[in-house]
Amino acid sequence: MENKPARKPHVVIVGAGFGGLEAAKLLIDEPVRMTVIDRTNHHLFQPLLYQIATAALSPADIAAPIRGILGRCKNTEVILAEVKSVNVEARTVSIGEREIAYDYLILATGSRHSYFGHDEWEKLAPGLKSLEDAIEIRRRLLLAFEYAEKITDDAAKKAAMTFVIIGGGPTGVEMAGAIAEIARYTLDKDFKHIDPSSARVVLVEGDQRVLSAFPEDLSLKAMEQLKELGVEVHTGIHAKNLTEEGLQVGDEFIPCRVKIWAAGNTASFVGKTTGAPVDKVGRVLVNEDLTIPGHPEVQVIGDLANFSYRDGKPLPGVSPVAMQQGRHAARNICAMMDERKPQRFRYWDKGSMATIGRNRAVADLHIVHFSGLLAWMAWLFVHIIFLVGFRSRIAVLMQWAWAYFTFNKGARLITRNFQAESRPLT
Amino acid sequence: MENKPARKPHVVIVGAGFGGLEAAKLLIDEPVRMTVIDRTNHHLFQPLLYQIATAALSPADIAAPIRGILGRCKNTEVILAEVKSVNVEARTVSIGEREIAYDYLILATGSRHSYFGHDEWEKLAPGLKSLEDAIEIRRRLLLAFEYAEKITDDAAKKAAMTFVIIGGGPTGVEMAGAIAEIARYTLDKDFKHIDPSSARVVLVEGDQRVLSAFPEDLSLKAMEQLKELGVEVHTGIHAKNLTEEGLQVGDEFIPCRVKIWAAGNTASFVGKTTGAPVDKVGRVLVNEDLTIPGHPEVQVIGDLANFSYRDGKPLPGVSPVAMQQGRHAARNICAMMDERKPQRFRYWDKGSMATIGRNRAVADLHIVHFSGLLAWMAWLFVHIIFLVGFRSRIAVLMQWAWAYFTFNKGARLITRNFQAESRPLT
C-alpha cells in the first residue's frame, strides 16, 4: 500500500504590491499551493507613480501584469478580486461571491490616502496611489494649461496656473519638483497666450520641515533644491478651507485650479476585519514575528502593518520594509510547516532617498548624506535596478535618457473626455 | 513713409488627424497666421490603434501631443476645443465659448463609427476610433478572461471567452487576428481554470468577402490566414439582435460577453453645418479641388470629404488619402493667396495593406499582390516609417521586437475600476 501524499498547505496572499509579491516569489518553489488575490491585474512600481502623473512615463512602463509574473507558476493561482473580509476563526477570506479557505494567510493590502475626516476634499485634491489616480492628476495638470491658454480673464488664468501640493513627504516633494520642471522646461514654449514657466507651484507641509523622516540637513538641502526650481515652500502650516476656487494657506487664500493631496495615509479596511488590534490609522499591530495575536497562521506586512521599531515608532510605509517583511513572512511559513516557530522580524534599514528633479535629490545612507547630482544618480540607479521585468527597465531607461537630453516628456496625453473638464474647476 | 505690412491671412484647421496635420506642416513656413483646433490634445496614429486595444502597445507610443508637434511654430496657435459649427457666410467657426474668424478654413474632423440606426448597440459593442475606445476594449478583453477564470458556470465561461467582431474591413480583420493571437500565444499559460487558447473568435462581415476594398485574391488570402489563426469567419451575414447576452449570426445565437464594432462610419456632424451638400453618411460632397460649392476659402479633406474618384465612387477613408488631401489643401491656399485658382486634386494610390497577425498580412501594390511574411514585413516597415516622432518609432520598434521574440504583450493593463465590470456583462 502506498503512502497517500500529504495535502499541500494552501497559502493565500492578499495584495500583490512589493510585500505580497516578494512573499509569493519565495514560495513558488516550496511545497505549498498558493493563491494571490489583488483587486487590480497589475503589480505597480509605486515609487515612480509621480512620473506618470507628470507625463514622463506611460502606465505600462511601471506596471506589470501579475499573471505575467506569477501566472505560469504551477503551484500558484492568481485571482482578480477585492477581498471584503477575513474570518480568522474559519480561516477564510471573502471575495464577495465566494469564500477562499487558507492554511496560512499573508495580508498585504496596503493603504490609501486619508483626508483627516474631510472626505469631501478627495474630489478637489486627488491623491496618488493607483494608476487611475496618476492618469487623473496628469489630465488635470495638462488641462490646466490648456484652459489657461484659452481664457482671457487674468485672475482665472493665474488660478489655472497655480498648483498646490499638500504634504511635504517624498511624494509631495517629488510632485512639486516634477510640476515645476514640466512647466519650466517642457511646456515653456508650447503656448501663445501664457508663459508656463511663470506657473506658481506651492508645497504646503504641516511639519516644520519637508521630508521630516529624513535627517535635518537633508530636509534643508531638499528645501534649497525645491526653491532653485522655483517651488514656493510653506512649512509649519496646515492647508485649510479647500474649495473648488482654492485653499487657505496661513493668512493667504490661494486661488488655484489643481490641488494634489500627499498628506496622509490610512490603512486598508481589510486589516480591521481580522479582529486584531489596530492603530489610529487602521494599521494592524503585529507581533514581533509579523503574526497577529493568537493566530500565527496570519501575518500582516507592508503599509498595512504597524511594526514597532527600536524607539516604539512604527516602521515607515516604504517599499524596502514591505519587501523585507514579505520575504520574512514567506520564511515564517516555511518554518511553521517544519513545525518550527516563526522568527522575529528585523528591518535592515539601508537608508532612504527622495528625488526633487533633474540632477536634484537627497540620499540618506546613514553613514553618509548626499544631495544634488550624486544623490540623483544613486536614486536613478536604484530605481532602475528594482523595476520589475526586463522590458520596463529598458523602456524606462530610454525615456529617461530622452527626457534628460531633450527636456521633453513623452507621455503628455489627456485621455477621457475633457469636455466635462473645460468648466472653471476640478 | 514706410509701407504698412499687409495683414497675414488667418488659416484655421479643424482636426489634427493625418489630413489636418499634413496641411499644417506645409503652412508653417508660409506667410499666414494659423490656428489648429482639435478636441483632443494629441495626434493619433490610428492605423495602430488596434494594438492598444489588444495590449501590444501603450497609448503614448502612438499618440503625440499636438503642441509638441506644432506648438513651437511662431505662426501657429493650438486650441484644445470642440468645434460646434461653421458659419461660412460670416467666415467663423464656433468653439462654444467664442467664435474664431478665418480667411481660409480646412475642415478635417473625420468620422466616428455608425451603428446604422442602432445607437443602443454602442455600449454593447464599442468601436475603435479614439484612445479611450482602445483602452475600453483592452479592458473588456482582459476582464473577460479574468471573469472566465473566476466563475464556475460552464456556459458563462464559454460566453466570456467568445469574442465577436462585427465588420470585416481592415480594422475588423486586424482585431480578430490580434485577439486570436493574444489568446493563443500570450495568455495561453497564464490561467489555471481556463484555457485561453480555446477562446472562440468570430468575425462577421455583411459583404461576400472580408477586406472587400482589396482585390479578390487578397480577400481569400486574408480569410485563409485568419482561419490559420483559428478565427471563425462568417461572410454575407449581418449580425442581428445584439444584447448583453450575445448576438444572432445567421441561424445561430452566439452567447458572448465581448463584442467589437468595426462595421461602419459616419462623418463628423461639423460637415453638415457648412450648409454644403452631404452624402448619406454625412460626408461633404467636395468639388474637384476639395473646396465646397460657392466657398473656395473652405476646403474639406480626409474622412469628412466625399471626393468622387474615377468610377464615381468616393475615395476610401484611409490615411494616404487624408495626407495627400491635406498637402493639396495647403497648396491650394498658397495658390489663392497668390490670386491663382485652387487646383484639381488627384489621388496617387500607392496600394493598400492590412495585417492579420505575426507574419501574416496582405498587400496590394496594384502591379503585384503579396501575402504572408513578405506583406507583413512591408506593413511593419511602412508603419514604423510613418509613426510620428523619433521617440515613438524607437519605442514601438522595441516593443514589437520584444513581442515578436517572446510572444509577450507588454501593455496588459486593466485601468479604471473593474468592480462595476465583474457582473455578468459588458
pLDDT greater than 50 at residue B383:
yes
Query: Where does residue B360 rank: exposed (0-12), middle (13-18), buried (19+ CB within 10 A)?
Result: buried
Q: At what angle do helices B216-228 and B170-181 cross, to 10 degrees?
A: 20
pLDDT in tens, B100-113: 999 999 999 999 98
pLDDT greater than 90 at residue A282:
yes
H/E stretch holding A221 reads helix A216-228
> Worst-scoring range by mean pLDDT, A86-100, A285-299, A365-379?
A365-379
Residue with cell 498585504: A108
> Worst-scoring range by mean pLDDT, B47-56, B278-287, B417-426?
B417-426
The closest alpha carbon to A81, from A5, A168, A172, A14, belongs to A14
What is the grid cell recorded at B152?
464556475
pLDDT at res. A312: 75
pLDDT greater than 90 at residue B242:
yes
> Which residues of chain B have a CB within 8 Å of the CB of A77?
192-193
> Which residues of chain B have a CB within 8 Å of the CB of A395?
395, 398-399, 410
Q: At what angle do helices A170-181 and A216-228 cross, to 10 degrees?
A: 20
Q: Annotated catalytic residue: which of B2, B97, B146, B174?
A: B174
Q: How far apart are CA A201 and CA B319, in angstroms?
A: 42
pLDDT at res. A62: 87
User: With bands split at pLDDT 50, 70 and 90, how would you rate the model's confidence at A388?
Assistant: low
Q: How far apart are CA A309 and CA A359, in angstroms?
A: 33
The closest alpha carbon to B86, from B70, B67, B107, belongs to B107
pLDDT in tens, A188-205: 888 999 999 999 999 999
Q: How far apart are CA B132 and CA B33, in angstroms?
A: 32
> Which residues of chain A have a CB within 8 Å of the CB of B403?
none
What is the least distance, in Å, from the CA of B409 to any CA of chain A? Answer: 9
pLDDT at res. A61: 83
Nearest to A60 among B193, B391, B413 (CB): B413
pLDDT at res. A345: 97
Q: How far apart are CA A375 and CA A354, in angstroms?
A: 9
User: With bands split at pLDDT 50, 70 and 90, how would you rate the model's confidence at A407?
Assistant: low
pLDDT greater than 90 at residue B298:
yes
Question: Residue A411's closest chain B neighbor by CA?
Answer: B60
Say which residue, A76 or B68, is predicted with more confidence: A76
pLDDT at res. B311: 73
* Average pLDDT score over residue span A311-323: 89
Please tell me the pTM assigned to this model.
0.88
* Average pLDDT score over residue span B390-412: 68
pLDDT at res. B75: 93
> Which residues of chain B have a CB within 8 Å of the CB of A415?
59, 131-132, 135
User: Which one of A10, A34, A41, A388 would you mutate to disrupt binding with B, by most B Cβ within 10 Å of its Cβ?
Assistant: A41
Contact A40 B419 (CB under 8 A): no
Contact A190 B71 (CB under 8 A): yes
User: With bands split at pLDDT 50, 70 and 90, how would you rate the model's confidence at A425?
Assistant: very low
Handedness of CA B266, B109, B391, A135 (dihedral sign): negative
Q: How far apart are CA B300 and CA B106, in angstroms?
A: 6
Contact A41 B146 (CB under 8 A): yes
Contact A60 B411 (CB under 8 A): yes
Please tell me whether the interface predicted TM-score (ipTM) of this complex is above 0.90.
no
Q: How far apart are CA B404 and CA A64, in angstroms?
A: 18
pLDDT in tens, A11-63: 999 999 999 999 999 999 999 999 999 999 999 998 889 989 998 888 888 88
